[in-house]
A = this chain, B = another copy of it.
Amino acid sequence: MANPFGMETDRRSLSEQAYEAIREAILSLRLEPGRAVYENELANMLNMSRTPVREAVRTLLVEELIEVLPQRGMKVALISEKKVEEARFVRESLEVSALRAAIVGWHTNEWGARLKDEVQAALAAQRKSAETGDVLGFLEADEWFHRLLMAAADNRTLVSIVAQMRAHLNRVRTLSLQELKNVQTLIEEHEQLVSVLTAGDEERAVSLLTHHLRRLQQDVAVVRSQYPLYFRD
């Protein structure tokens, strides 16, 4: 056997590894908005050639997380208020629709029981991250929670689009949560949503979720005033 220690080499292609690594670096703001990056630089960082990096960049280009200036270089996309609001709008539309489609099965079918436990786990994880001040962990738990909400709608395409929208929203959220100020409110809204959902009040649930998802709109202006260099327009 070529690999007696089971030190399994990453069997994902280098392109995928590059994609995930670069994307994560952008979303976590380790690669800050507006920063110039170069294919060679990324390739060296990731110990690979330019080829897989280029393929990863190609995907990040579609997601508008990177911009390429031909023959001049690339840069991490600046945050655009317009783009953020567009993404937020799309997310609200889809997540509300998913909630409406799923609410029937929330009680009746198999989803209900299994989901409710996991929802509690997600909430617990979020509370814990809030206590320890782990912003990144908080956002992960938040994503977990919202994914569970959508799960019952059984629409992977929808979930993946929402995830794509989240990419643009998360950079704002990461910045706005630096002081972990409003996290308590967010968690409370999650809990409220769950209780209304188990009570079966569709309209109230939709209203709560809509309100919850619009909260970001206030943050944008604040964040922009704190980090003007991260913004475009």
Interface string of A48-75 (1 = CB under 8 A from B): 0000001100110010000000100000
Contact A86–B54 (Cβ < 8 Å): no
B158 touches A90 (CB 8 A): yes
A93-108: CB near B (< 8 Å → 1, else 0) gives 1101100010000000
* Contact pick for A93, options B55, B70, B87, B94, CB 8 Å: B94
Q: With an 8 A cutoff between CB atoms, is A155 at the interface?
A: yes
Most B CB contacts (10 A, CB to CB) among A15, A55, A156 go to A55
Residue interface mask A120-152, B partner, CB < 8 A = 1: 000000000000000000000000000000000
- Also in contact, A157 and B55, with CB within 8 A (given A62-B62, A93-B93, A97-B93): no
Task: Provide the residues of chain B in CB contact with A13, threshold 8 Å.
Answer: 70
Q: How many identical chains are in the complex?
A: 2
CB neighbours of A93 from chain B (8 A): 93-94, 96-97, 158
Cβ of A38 < 8 Å from any Cβ of B? no
- State whether A90 touches B55 (Cβ < 8 A): no
Closest residue on chain B to residue A93 by CB atoms:
B97
Partner of A87 from the list B83, B96, B157 (CB cut-off 8 Å) is B157
- Which residue of the partner chain B has the closest CB to A55? B58
Q: A93-B94, A93-B97 are in contact. Are A86 and B157 (CB under 8 A)?
A: yes
How many chain A residues have a CB neighbour from B under 8 Å?
25
CA A62 to CA B15, docked complex, whole Å: 13
Residues of B within 8 A of A70 (CB): 13
> Across the interface, do B94 and A155 meet the contact criterion of CB distance under 8 Å?
no
The reply to whether A86 and B156 form a contact with Cβ atoms under 8 Å apart is yes
In the complex, A156→B83 CA distance in Å? 8
Considering the chains assembled together, what is the distance between the CA atoms of A105 and B155 in angstroms?
Answer: 32
Distance in Å from the Cβ of A93 to the closest Cβ of chain B?
4
Q: Within 8 Å of chain B (Cβ to Cβ): is A161?
A: yes
What are the residues of chain B within 8 A of A96 when measuring CB–CB? 93
